[in-house]
Amino acid sequence: MHISVLLEESIKYLNLKEDSIVVDATLGYAGHSSEILKRIKKGFLFAFDQDIEAISESDVKLKKIGTNYKIIKSNFEYLKKHVDTADAILFDLGVSSPQLDTDERGFSFHKNGVLDMRMDKSNSLTAKKVVNDYSYQDLVRIFRDYGEEKYSNSIASNIIKYREKKEIEDTLELVEIISNSVPFKYKREHHPARKIFQAIRIEVNNELEVFENTLRDSLSILNLNGRIAVITFHSLEDKICKNIFKEFSEVDKNFKNLPVIPDHLKPKFKVIAKITPSKEEVLDNPRSRSATLRVIERVL
């Protein structure tokens, strides 16, 4: 069962009205979308997802609440192609529990399954291709840049050595290679595969570049007094969000020292909040522990 992280807080800070036009860029299993739809009886919800299983289940849930929504089977990078304007936009960048818990999706390092990790099963790049076909240099790059893994070199080296004998076929095979590549003390403190699986997932789905481009697109279609709420689970995603929100909400440094800032130079956006889960939520749902919610509003 999927438990939506920071559900109450994100819905509250979206500041929804009865007639709001809302985008849920990450539908998943409709945890957030269900609550949004309840609050916009005269509005409309656009929801994006690539996962056909999630879309099917969510459609059943949402139909019980209302018909004023459209589910778009697409990566949210095409958000601007489908939506011209919005009063509220939500990004929940976590992997949904059903994806993690389904062995054959290959997202989990706790379960044995094929090395897949595709959000959209029609994509050609899989985790199996990454670990078996990427060069040593490229493996180090994604482990270091996307996983922030300090043992990237030794893990990449051992993957290269292992695949010289045979193809790496499943998740637990990869977990064993990773585990054999790091010191025992490190294994006691962290699951050795967590950062590597995260890095491979980001690479397979091109997550960081797509998120950065789409967040900028979202700001460009946001109506006056509209808000964007972003829930991240990874320091690199959060850094992208923080930097873009800062860029759009601060006066250009070249004009900061002016005695009066002309209206056309004032920032159009204001950062509203940064929130992390309560101790109670982390106890109820351990997957929420790394989550951060950031909210921005268009003010001009």
pLDDT digits (tens, 9 = 90+) for 64-74: 999 999 999 99
- Written as six digits, the tokens of 240 are 């992208």
Cβ 16 vs Cβ 41: under 8 Å: no
Note the CATH number of domain 103-205: 1.10.150.170
Cβ 270 vs Cβ 299: under 8 Å: yes
The whole-angstrom separation of Cα 237 and Cα 217 is: 16
Determine the 3-state secondary structure of 179 from DSSP. helix
The reply to whether domains 7-92+207-298 and 103-205 share a CATH topology is no
Q: Is the dihedral of CA 164, 168, 172, 175 positive or negative?
A: positive
Residue 100 has pLDDT above 60, yes or no: no
What percent of the chain has pLDDT above 70? 96
pLDDT at 262: 83
What's the Cα-to-Cα distance from 149 to each of 156, 174, 208, 215, rounded to whole Å?
11, 15, 17, 26
The whole-angstrom separation of Cα 207 and Cα 229 is: 17
Residue 214 has pLDDT above 90, yes or no: yes
Domain ranges of the chain: 7-92+207-298, 103-205
> For the chain, how big is the Rg over CA atoms in Å?
21
pLDDT at 190: 85
pLDDT band at 107 (very low <50, low <70, confident <90, very high): confident
263 vs 25, residue with greater confidence: 25
Structurally, at CATH architecture level, domain 7-92+207-298 sits in 3-Layer(aba) Sandwich (3.40)
Task: Indicate the range of 33-42, 83-92, 99-108, 227-236 predicted with least confidence.
Answer: 99-108
Burial zone of 39 (CB within 10 Å; 0-12 exposed, 13-18 middle, 19+ buried): middle
Residue 97 has pLDDT above 60, yes or no: no
Average pLDDT over residues 145-154: 96
In sequence order, the 6+-apart residues with CB closer than 8 A to the CB of 129 are none
Average pLDDT over residues 238-263: 89
This prediction's pTM: 0.90
Cβ 116 vs Cβ 105: under 8 Å: yes
pLDDT at 193: 94
pLDDT at 233: 92
Residue 151 has pLDDT above 80, yes or no: yes
pLDDT band at 21 (very low <50, low <70, confident <90, very high): very high
- Written as six digits, the tokens of 31 are 């945890």
Write out the H or E segment, with its range, that includes residue 34: helix 31-39
pLDDT band at 99 (very low <50, low <70, confident <90, very high): low
